[in-house]
C-alpha cells in the first residue's frame, strides 16, 4: 500500500482511538514509510475528537464516539489536519473508533468498531471532492486481538479502495 501511495504521490495520515497508535505503527515499521506516512493523531478521549479533529460535538454528545459518522468525520478531519500546500489534497485519511473490550461500553458491545477512510477522488461526504466512507466491524477476541484486527481491516479496506475506485469499503456488515 505504501508503494501504491508513493507512486500516486499520495500521503497517509491517521486519527486513532481504540488502536492508540497501532495503525501508525503498522506503517512506520516498514523501511521507507516516511516517504508516505505523515503522522497519526491519537484522539482517545471524546473531547479530543472534537477539539483536535473537529468532530461534531453534538454528534459526539448524542451518539458517543462509537458511530459511523464519527469515523467518517475523523478520517476526513485527519486529511485536513495534515494538509500542506505541497500535498495538493493528495492525503488519505484513516480513522479507527470502537470498543476494544474486554466488556461493553454502555450499550456498545465489545468488538463493535468503525473504521473510516477518506481518499482523494470524487463523491463521499461533504461534497469536498473526497471519497469518504465508514465501515462497521463486529470483531471477536481479546482487547489486543480486536485492536490488531481493526488495523488489518483498515489496511484491507484501503487496498480494496486503491484497487477499485468504485469500491465502498465493504458491505458495512459483520467482519469476524
**What local confidence, expressed as pLDDT, does residue 129 receive?**
81
**What local confidence, expressed as pLDDT, does residue 73 receive?**
98
Question: pLDDT tier at 168 (50, 70, 90 boundaries)?
Answer: low
- How far is CA 130 from each of CA 27, 80, 119, 127, rounded to the nearest angstrom? 22, 11, 6, 7
Reply yes or no on whether the pLDDT at 122 is more than 90. no
Reply yes or no on whether the pLDDT at 39 is more than 80. yes
Question: pLDDT tier at 127 (50, 70, 90 boundaries)?
Answer: low
**What local confidence, expressed as pLDDT, does residue 121 receive?**
79
| CA distance linking residue 49 with residue 70, whole number of Å | 9
pTM, 2 dp: 0.91
Amino acid at each position: 500500500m505504501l508503494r501504491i501511495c508513493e507512486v500516486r504521490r499520495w500521503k497517509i495520515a491517521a486519527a486513532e482511538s481504540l488502536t492508540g497508535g497501532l495503525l501508525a505503527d503498522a506503517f512506520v515499521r516498514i523501511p521507507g514509510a516516511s516517504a508516505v506516512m505523515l503522522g497519526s493523531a491519537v484522539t482517545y478521549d471524546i473531547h479530543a475528537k472534537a477539539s483536535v479533529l473537529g468532530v461534531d460535538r453534538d454528534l459526539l454528545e448524542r451518539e458517543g464516539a462509537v458511530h459511523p459518522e464519527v469515523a467518517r468525520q475523523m478520517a476526513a478531519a485527519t486529511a485536513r489536519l495534515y494538509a500542506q500546500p505541497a500535498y495538493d489534497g493528495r492525503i488519505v485519511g484513516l480513522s479507527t473508533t470502537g470498543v476494544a473490550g474486554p466488556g461493553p461500553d454502555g450499550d456498545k458491545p465489545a468488538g463493535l468498531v468503525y473504521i473510516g477512510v477518506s481518499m482523494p477522488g470524487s463523491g463521499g461526504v461533504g461534497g469536498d471532492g473526497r471519497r469518504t466512507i465508514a465501515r462497521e466491524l463486529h470483531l471477536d477476541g481479546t482487547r489486543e486481538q480486536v485492536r490488531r484486527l481493526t488495523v488489518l481491516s483498515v489496511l484491507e479496506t484501503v487496498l480494496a479502495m486503491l484497487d477499485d475506485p468504485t469500491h465502498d469499503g465493504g458491505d458495512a456488515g459483520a467482519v469476524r
